[in-house]
Amino acid sequence: MKQLLSGNEAIARGAYHAGVQVASAYPGTPSTEILENMAGYEDVYAEWSTNEKVAMEVGLGAATGGVRALVSMKHVGLNVAADAFFGASNVGVRGGLVVVCADDPGMHSSQNEQDNRHYARFAKVPMLEPSNSQEAYSIMAPAFSLSEELDSPIMVRTTTRISHAKSVVDVNGDRPELGPPPPFIHSPSKYVMVPSYARPRHPLAEQRILRAAQLFEEFPFNEVIWGDRKLGIISAGVAYQYAREAFPQASFLKLVTTYPLPQQLIRSFAAEVETLLVVEELDPFMEEIIKSMGIAVEGKSMFPITGELNTHIVLQGAMKANLISGTQQGAAATTPTSKPLPPRPPLLCPGCPHRGAAYVLSRLRFGPKGSIPQAKVGGRKGKEWHIATSDIGCYTLMVYSPLFAIDSCVCMGASITLAHGLEKAGVAEKTVSVLGDSTFMHTGIPGLVNMVYNRSHSTVIILDNQTTAMTGHQGHPASGRSAKNEQAPKVDMAELARGIGVKDVNVISAFNLKEIEETIRRCTANDEPSVIVVQGPCPLYERISGTAFRVNEERCNGCKLCLDIGCPAITFDGDKAYIVPPMCVGESCSLCVQVCARKAIEKESD
């Protein structure tokens, strides 16, 4: 049956047909839909884990019990899960364990573009890379068999253009009949990694990489496509698609097994072609290994090491290196207008519960000094400014105009801990840290424990919108909702903070500016650690709508105070504010009403 599937849908379907019984993940673009699809299968146990390390260990536990398990995450998730990933490599598996990592070259929605292929080599875990949705579907069953045969997790690495691009898949498999898990096998020398048991495991890992390299010589999805033998190209993943399009005449060795590399296959291909190229995104991962085999090959001398590739970039690189001649058609490189186009970055939505806290922080002079006109922060010259360390989520968007409310966003969990470090360094400015509910559950908690234990004075603001909004509204342990969209036990974050030892814990509404301001002022003035949970639902997730507010044109004097909250629903029509009716969520928010000094924003019925 031919279907149009994204890479992520194909991976899930392939895993389902390979008999996966347990799937665990933490959301992260571009990997999220893998677990969302797994959760749609009734006979698969699927969970959003608290974080990626937890997800990896859950998968390993299931595999240890003899069933097939799928773990998925975005590239930086593997940093969080690295300890468990190396652990899994060390102890090996019983049921197959496949770890899918989705990289994001070009950083469409990530904080970096690390190349996770290094993890496969680093952890001595065999790796497969699909180059379209068909392969993503078809390699899953072999991946699980390999995992069991090699007693090792298998890494499947995708990138955004594989995970999210849709292409045609012949879905030709089916779900096998599955019984209960086999009886548990107690095997301390395999699973209890005291040094005396761990030492013999290392040579086993080395042997399995050699064995994998042998198996990969015959791996059915590696493919040689003969064309003109003047130019031979070794490539994998979506880079192969760009290269195929850029050099329709060349010969190709398309690899799905990218660690360990099938060296015989590469040698015999190289021997047949005059010039050999590696086309790969990000680091020269294959290129360096092939060079170390003593084979003359070019790659990063022509193609960029940063960002995404595409057909155009591949062609340009080849032309610059005089590998091909001629001018490239098309490419009206400049935008044909004289004035710079207005940017349209993502924004906090109308009705977003993060906006109130962001606005108050910027008015209280938290965030980068100088971004906001002095007049707007009630500022006599020389007034002190403060520091807001942030985390990763929708609220990170408060870095943009006109809020400019935060000073950092490094990696998940790094808000609380950076603020603590700043304080302990003796930095004079007051600090607050800002993070979302999902992020607090992910890696925020240890930071808060650390703050209490080590006597911090700082304030933690948890923006609780009851969902993981940025990645598309997944459940998490404080949301009360499971991956299968069922009701789930709900962690009470305020109680948790009290249990950790925070005495000053506040739970307030996200839409009451006065209360937010008073609470932040009080908490940042006192000498003890404090937590403020700011609660308000995500309007996108809850599909909140209401009668739009409207500007009373007689009262509006065009002062533009209402623009300071950065609401996309408010624009200016001539010299008066105008609220775009279908965008405004109405009374559930009302921040603009609260900031308008002339009471010019009113309900439709007023």
Ligand X SMILES: Cc1ncc(C[n+]2csc(CCOP(=O)(O)OP(=O)(O)O)c2C)c(N)n1
Question: Where do contacts with other proteins occur on this chain (CB under 8 A)?
Answer: 2, 4, 108-109, 132, 161, 164-168, 238, 241-242, 244-245, 310-312, 329-337, 339-349, 394, 397, 401-402, 470, 472, 540, 563, 566, 568, 570-572, 582
Nearest to 501 by CA among 538, 448, 551, 457: 448
CA–CA separation, 368 and 348 (whole Å)? 19
Closer of 86 and 572 to other proteins (Cβ): 572
Least distance in angstroms from the C-beta of 19 to other proteins: 28
Closer of 74 and 94 to ligand X (Cβ): 74
Partner whose footprint covers residue 333, from other proteins, ligand X, none (CB < 5 to 8 Å by kind): other proteins
> How far is C-alpha 437 from the geometric centre of its chain's CA atoms?
16
Residue 410: Cβ-neighbour burial (10 angstroms; 0-12, 13-18, 19+): middle
Partner whose footprint covers residue 468, from other proteins, ligand X, none (CB < 5 to 8 Å by kind): ligand X
Closer of 144 and 221 to other proteins (Cβ): 221
Nearest to 546 by CA among 473, 593, 604: 604
Least distance in angstroms from the C-beta of 335 to other proteins: 6
Query: Which pair of tokens denotes residue 375?
Result: 């007049």
CA–CA separation, 192 and 452 (whole Å)? 34
Residue numbers at the binding site for ligand X (CB under 6 A): 26-28, 52, 74, 76-77, 80, 392-395, 412, 435-439, 465, 467-471
Partner whose footprint covers residue 539, from other proteins, ligand X, none (CB < 5 to 8 Å by kind): none
Closer of 341 and 428 to other proteins (Cβ): 341
Distant-in-sequence, close-in-space partners of 175: CB < 8 Å, separation ≥ 6: 16, 17, 19, 43
Least distance in angstroms from the C-beta of 580 to ligand X: 23
Q: Is 3 helix (H, G, I), strand (E, B) or coil?
A: strand
- Which residue lies nearest ligand X, judged by its C-beta? 436
Closer of 67 and 538 to ligand X (Cβ): 538
Count of helix runs (H) and strand runs (E) in the chain: 22, 22
Least distance in angstroms from the C-beta of 329 to other proteins: 7
Partner whose footprint covers residue 137, from ligand X, other proteins, none (CB < 5 to 8 Å by kind): none
Residue 214 has a CB neighbour count (10 Å cut-off) of: 12
Closer of 306 and 401 to other proteins (Cβ): 401
Question: Using omega within 30 degrees of 0 as the cis cutoff, is the peptide bond preceding 537 cis?
Answer: no
Least distance in angstroms from the C-beta of 14 to other proteins: 18
Residue 25: Cβ-neighbour burial (10 angstroms; 0-12, 13-18, 19+): buried
Closer of 361 and 567 to other proteins (Cβ): 567
Least distance in angstroms from the C-beta of 394 to ligand X: 3
Q: DSSP for 522-566? A: HHHHSSS-EEEEEE---TTTTT---PPPEE-TTT-----GGGGG-
Closer of 117 and 161 to other proteins (Cβ): 161
Partner whose footprint covers residue 465, from ligand X, other proteins, none (CB < 5 to 8 Å by kind): ligand X
Partner whose footprint covers residue 341, from ligand X, other proteins, none (CB < 5 to 8 Å by kind): other proteins
Partner whose footprint covers residue 370, from other proteins, ligand X, none (CB < 5 to 8 Å by kind): none
Closer of 99 and 569 to other proteins (Cβ): 569
Least distance in angstroms from the C-beta of 173 to ligand X: 30
Rounded to whole angstroms, what are the CA distances from 576 to 586, 602, 604? 19, 14, 17
Least distance in angstroms from the C-beta of 433 to ligand X: 12
Contacts 24+ apart (CB under 8 A), 314-319: 314/239, 314/242, 314/243, 314/246, 314/247, 314/279, 315/246, 318/246, 318/247
Least distance in angstroms from the C-beta of 388 to ligand X: 15
Contact indicator for 330, 316 with CB cutoff of 8 Å: no
Partner whose footprint covers residue 415, from ligand X, other proteins, none (CB < 5 to 8 Å by kind): none
Strand bridging mode 570-573 / 576-579 = antiparallel
Q: DSSP for 323-361? A: SS-SPPP----S-S-SSPPPP----PPTT-TTHHHHHHH
Closer of 28 and 59 to ligand X (Cβ): 28
Closer of 80 and 592 to ligand X (Cβ): 80
Partner whose footprint covers residue 74, from other proteins, ligand X, none (CB < 5 to 8 Å by kind): ligand X
Identity (one letter) of the amino acid at 292? S
Least distance in angstroms from the C-beta of 445 to ligand X: 13
Least distance in angstroms from the C-beta of 1 to other proteins: 12
Distant-in-sequence, close-in-space partners of 47: CB < 8 Å, separation ≥ 6: 23, 24, 25, 55, 58, 482, 483
CA–CA separation, 44 and 51 (whole Å)? 20
Partner whose footprint covers residue 2, from ligand X, other proteins, none (CB < 5 to 8 Å by kind): other proteins
CA–CA separation, 6 and 154 (whole Å)? 21
CA–CA separation, 209 and 125 (whole Å)? 7
Given the structure tokens 């019990």, which residue do they identify? Answer: 65
Closer of 65 and 537 to ligand X (Cβ): 537
CA–CA separation, 533 and 497 (whole Å)? 10
Least distance in angstroms from the C-beta of 296 to other proteins: 27
Partner whose footprint covers residue 234, from other proteins, ligand X, none (CB < 5 to 8 Å by kind): none
Partner whose footprint covers residue 395, from other proteins, ligand X, none (CB < 5 to 8 Å by kind): ligand X
